[in-house]
Structure 1
């Protein structure tokens, strides 16, 4: 079970970190942005206690000196608010986080704030503190922030984790090199289905160029939106407002995505390497290997245009058009308190600050002002100090910005965010369709053998289909038969029973 927990945690973090984006600040100082210590604070008992924050990071890890400097600054700040807390910030490489945390928790090492991974599994393993006693006092403010999203951190009626408050609904865009598309009417491109005609015109004019990178992980979410197919876990889905689970691989959305991937591979619209390709969408498009890309962000169109224009390596100007927005289907990025914590109340106080205090949140992600970042001239956003960048500043956890805490509190960073983006992310959330099982997370304990077998089948077939390596006319039925033989129907029955109980309790 612990090995399965580690593997699932890695997959979920890798998928979710890809959606990173941030909010902005109006230039307030720590003194202006702080929260007063509540009546339930540790302040006044005379003892300063240490709270360790373990933060998954995809950036270069900071030195011990840089981590200590950030920890000292945060400790000074929260103590100034009246908390007798010393904060110890410990970013961990995402690659190592799953193994390290699992081993430490299993061994009983003292930890405080942790990423929970699949929260049902973490609760079953006994890794998390029940947060119910803090919900209406120490955590009252963060509960107001996350609202109904608290279901994402709730197991059997009790609160165990706080979900990241982020731009969860994505705006998918077709992003393209303006020079290559200047003769095409891009105002007519409003959905993934409109790309067929555009790509045909492009290929006729530029037979040796690619109009897109690849279809893996980007086509399926758009086809799911057509009939509100909402993925549950990895292998199942609901369709529309129904709470009945079906195999994701039997849905119309999955079939359409597989057929489109194969069609575009055959027509030469996307990268011919298919699933053998190891480079990301961003790298392929920004290096000029393809002249367009479609992908989802919580950013506005102008920000994406600026981002791609600034970051591409061949001097291109990029434009973008929106082709679809995604629903709210799940949020697996939850943070809780480890069962080994000696000071769970104080850890809960720090959790509350991360989700409600601009300075705390921004310092955890960006590091220290004047060291790893500085304000721009009008203090509307921040930038790297002269001569430094993402890979050379002493401290940054930038790529965790959409996977930890409250993304809307972050100071904006030049070339990445704006005040308009923060509002846009909220608009996307407010206008998104909410799946009927939003907040539900299945527990695989009863069917772990079948899950392992289905996982092997999934790994064998899914990428080949979603990259367009194989013809779905024959390969998809083969995939479906292999899933059935591996026991997917056993998992479905067990998960449906969990769904029915969850609906009875929460809906």
Structure 2
């Protein structure tokens, strides 16, 4: 009886969330008018202020040139200037940990479920609660951000971060360098699962010296190994996306799909299809920039191939595998918070409001200066001119303000609408876990994850020998206790959700 009730509950949650998501996030609105809050209209009455913004992105050559234009505009809007500190992803987490622990004064920072943890920082007081500030200075932001994004980012029912309003649904796929697909006439229509590319990897290994057959690194490898969502990124526990266990949390290290994936990766590693030092790689941009790779894992949606072509300068094919889905991680992957050390948090929120409502400012920060960094090819389309400035528009603010790349198909809005029509919706989408009761165990588990998961994911070790050892290390670090606490909170959330529905009736 209990399982039947939970199954019905799952169904109604999915219906509720899907109907809301479909109505608010399916299409890209390239014609939205600029929204300016009342507070922004009074910019001249505000004292001058410099906003310091940390973002996890590689430094850009023309950053200062673009900031000059940005600051001319911001001075008129909110009497502020912007200092943008771009930090490469590989260094960002340690840099922000240092900045926060030292009490460094800054205003806004990128935060996420996987980097500069938004939950931990919110609970320790590093970020300011945004609800009262948004009510006063961010009405436009509250109007445009779907409630699924805002609710998914809450910690103990309070909002400490603003998620980027980006495309949510995606599905895992195989990325292929078209140069080698065309050269060897590979039939990509036969690719239905990851194992199907193995004959192609063999050809590349034998005939293309210096080209990596399967280019992966630890963080990129979760795609095919776990058809599930973790509750905490560094803790190997969670739920299957299809919720087949009816809200019973399972160990990600012990599911059969993971063991199968590890065996395949170890086989490919021994065959030389994967880099010998893959476990120690922080990113793969050097290989992508030179084109010395054949295949890898990728997150697919209808925009991805065009973005990659613009970014890399050559064609990449992505073959979708499995079904589109929306996870909680999709809602909390790219976010920004206001630091508790900000000297003017009101002004910081005014700036965030502009990033979510002001088309000119958003595209200036994303693409740079027209005729220098990009050229308009239509009212809302552009072509990038060089690589001296570009910040991905899905990484901040409201992507629905973004110009389209001219390489997108003319039917891209319809393609996105169709793609988003029937995703699998994670059962964890609006569940917020409070790690405080088991924070010491999570800290120990994180150490295990950072030390041991990399070699396992890239196939560098034999899973028959290594996997039982890492499972035991997790248990010794307190995984069972953490999973019990996660299950306790998840059950309480389910009961609370059901009670709310009864009250409404």
Q: What TM-score, normalized by structure 2, do the two folds share?
A: 0.76
Equivalent residues in 2 for 1:388-467, closer than 5 Å:
389-390=386-387, 393=388, 396=389, 398=391, 400-413=392-405, 420-421=411-412, 424-425=415-416, 427-467=418-458
Q: How many residues align?
A: 455
Asked whether 1:60 is paired with 2:51, we answer no
**CA apart distance, 1:66:** 3.2
Q: Over residues 342-368 of structure 1, what are the superposed CA-to-partner deviations in whole Å (9 max), with x where a residue is unaligned?
A: 543443332222112221212222333
Tell me how far apart the structure 1 counterparts of residues 133 and 37 of structure 2 sit (CA, whole Å).
Answer: 15
Tell me how far apart the structure 2 counterparts of residues 426 and 91 of structure 1 sit (CA, whole Å).
Answer: 35
CA RMSD, 1 decimal: 3.7
**CA apart distance, 1:476:** 0.9
Which one of 106, 112, 120 corresponds to residue 107 of structure 2? 112
**CA apart distance, 1:154:** 1.0
Tell me how far apart the structure 1 counterparts of residues 159 and 282 of structure 2 sit (CA, whole Å).
Answer: 39
Tell me how far apart the structure 2 counterparts of residues 281 and 49 of structure 1 sit (CA, whole Å).
Answer: 41
Q: Over residues 103-130 of structure 1, what are the superposed CA-to-partner deviations in whole Å (9 max), with x where a residue is unaligned?
A: 5555655543333432222222222222
Asked whether 1:93 is paired with 2:91, we answer no
**CA apart distance, 1:238:** 0.8
Tell me how far apart the structure 2 counterparts of residues 479 and 328 of structure 1 sit (CA, whole Å).
Answer: 29
**CA apart distance, 1:468:** 1.0
1:213·1:290 contact (CA, 8 Å) conserved in 2? yes
2:36·2:357 contact (CA, 8 Å) conserved in 1? no
Cα separation, partners in 2 of 1:423 and 1:111, compared to 1, 3 Å: farther
Tell me how far apart the structure 2 counterparts of residues 91 and 145 of structure 1 sit (CA, whole Å).
Answer: 27
**CA apart distance, 1:53:** 4.6
**CA apart distance, 1:502:** 4.0
- Pick which of 298-307 and 330-339 moved more: 298-307
In structure 2, the residue matched to 1:6 is none
Q: Over residues 165-202 of structure 1, what are the superposed CA-to-partner deviations in whole Å (9 max), with x where a residue is unaligned?
A: 223433423314455555443222233243346556x4
**CA apart distance, 1:436:** 1.2
In structure 1, the residue matched to 2:313 is 311
Unaligned 5+ runs, structure 2:
1-26, 499-505
Tell me how far apart the structure 2 counterparts of residues 159 and 267 of structure 1 sit (CA, whole Å).
Answer: 48
Tell me how far apart the structure 1 counterparts of residues 363 and 141 of structure 2 sit (CA, whole Å).
Answer: 16
Q: Over residues 70-112 of structure 1, what are the superposed CA-to-partner deviations in whole Å (9 max), with x where a residue is unaligned?
A: 34233155x2xxxx44242422324665555555555655543
- 1:447 counterpart SS class: helix
Tell me how far apart the structure 2 counterparts of residues 178 and 75 of structure 1 sit (CA, whole Å).
Answer: 44
Tell me how far apart the structure 1 counterparts of residues 455 and 50 of structure 2 sit (CA, whole Å).
Answer: 45
**CA apart distance, 1:282:** 5.4
Cα separation, partners in 2 of 1:421 and 1:253, compared to 1, 3 Å: farther
**CA apart distance, 1:261:** 0.5
**CA apart distance, 1:258:** 0.9
In structure 2, the residue matched to 1:482 is 473
Which one of 312, 315, 321 corresponds to residue 319 of structure 2? 321
Q: Over residues 374-398 of structure 1, what are the superposed CA-to-partner deviations in whole Å (9 max), with x where a residue is unaligned?
A: 324545533455xxx32xx3xx352
Tell me how far apart the structure 1 counterparts of residues 266 and 421 of structure 2 sit (CA, whole Å).
Answer: 35
Asked whether 1:294 is paired with 2:304, we answer no
- 1:402 counterpart SS class: helix
- 1:237 counterpart SS class: strand
Tell me how far apart the structure 2 counterparts of residues 187 and 464 of structure 1 sit (CA, whole Å).
Answer: 31
- 2:404 counterpart SS class: coil
**CA apart distance, 1:426:** 5.6
Q: Over residues 419-442 of structure 1, what are the superposed CA-to-partner deviations in whole Å (9 max), with x where a residue is unaligned?
A: 655665565445322211124454
Unaligned 5+ runs, structure 1:
1-22
2:382·2:405 contact (CA, 8 Å) conserved in 1? yes
In structure 1, the residue matched to 2:486 is 495
Cα separation, partners in 2 of 1:259 and 1:100, compared to 1, 3 Å: closer
1:24·1:411 contact (CA, 8 Å) conserved in 2? no
Cα separation, partners in 2 of 1:69 and 1:179, compared to 1, 3 Å: closer
Cα separation, partners in 2 of 1:403 and 1:253, compared to 1, 3 Å: farther
Asked whether 1:248 is paired with 2:247, we answer no
Tell me how far apart the structure 1 counterparts of residues 251 and 215 of structure 2 sit (CA, whole Å).
Answer: 28
1:71·1:89 contact (CA, 8 Å) conserved in 2? no
